[in-house]
């Protein structure tokens, strides 16, 4: 088994940018403060990116997917997250069978 060179390059790009995010906060407060609008933007980005990723599946694919997304969120608020993931997958299978 070997590693494709392009896959290796892609993983390296991910590893470098991820490590940069891990040390950047430390470097930032050593030299100057993170405040104001930059801090607000940094706080919002991860949730906004995750929202953007799920938006097409949750809002623009079909009623079965949208309802399953809603069911997943409701389960995630009350149940262990792993149960919510499994329940969401089960919900989409059931809803696709019911909704033509």
Rounded to whole angstroms, the Cα distance separating 43 from 1 reads: 41
Shortest distance in whole angstroms from residue 99 CB to other proteins: 14
Residues with Cβ within 8 Å of residue 98, at least 6 apart in sequence: 64
Shortest distance in whole angstroms from residue 89 CB to other proteins: 3
Any idea what the Cα angle at residue 75 is, between residues 71 and 78, rounded to 5°? 150
Asked if residue 58 lies in contact with residue 65, where contact means CB atoms within 8 angstroms, the answer is yes
Shortest distance in whole angstroms from residue 63 CB to other proteins: 14
Nearer to other proteins, 55 or 99 (CB): 55
């Amino acid at each position: 088994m070997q590693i494709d060179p392009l896959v290796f390059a892609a993983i390296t790009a991910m590893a470098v940018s991820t490590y940069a995010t891990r040390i950047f906060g430390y470097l930032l407060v050593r030299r100057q403060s993170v405040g104001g609008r930059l801090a607000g933007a940094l706080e919002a980005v991860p949730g906004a990116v995750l929202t953007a990723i799920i938006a097409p599946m949750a809002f623009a694919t079909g009623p079965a997917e949208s309802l399953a997304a809603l069911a997943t969120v409701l389960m995630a608020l009350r149940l262990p997250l792993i149960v919510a993931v499994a329940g969401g997958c089960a919900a989409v299978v059931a809803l696709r069978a019911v909704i033509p």
